[in-house]
Structure 1
Amino acid sequence: MGWSKQKFRSDESVQIQSIIGLGSYGKVFKGLWKGVTVAYKVIQYPGSSISQQEKFQHIAIMEIAISASMSHPNVVQTYSYDIKAIMPEVQAIEQQRTVDRPAEECNGVGEKTFTRDSY
């Protein structure tokens, strides 16, 4: 495809189209980035202490490093990433918005953009 692995820049955005998966640490959305359909993963760190946040950030960095170095037909390729902290209040609001809407209602979210904790 010709894409090189690169750090996701803060001024870039992904147009979110729908939610395609939920897990214990976050959500995966179908999105559009630079004209390409992508899976957009948002990881939410549990806990509020600095040590807990550092632990989960380390886990996310390890996951990024492993997935970015892999090339296998059954593994989603990582093309870009970014790690950002968000305020707990904003995180709670975004989580509530997503959880309150069924996946089919999220299909019209293309105008919203997210650029946090993504890769």
Structure 2
Amino acid sequence: LAKDSLHAGAHHALGLLNYRVQKLSFIERFVARTFLGAGVMNLTTWEDAERYLKRAVELRPDYILFHLDLGSMYLNRKRMEEARVQFERALELPLFEPPDTRFQETAEIRLAETFN
């Protein structure tokens, strides 16, 4: 981001890193700290996960994966309406990349499992 603060993929990667570290269980965190050290573990926050994932969506609102991951983070945080909005948006977008079909299927499953 130091070279290109508008790189949506970089924001997404940092958001995903924060999200995935934050959602680790206590045991997973213990193992990770034991083998990897506490550096990265202590630098991640839910706030950063949201900030980076939202920024990725702002920069590339047409990118299905970014909506899916932001929605998943909201779902994990029990922010249901915000999750629903992101999953529905992922379904509305046209297919652009080869894996977009799978991403839309995942959004559809998350909507069905959570809201039906």
Q: Same fold (TM over 0.5)?
A: no
TM-score by length of 2: 0.27
Q: Where is the strand percentage greater, Structure 1 or Structure 2?
A: 1
| Bigger Rg over Cα | 2
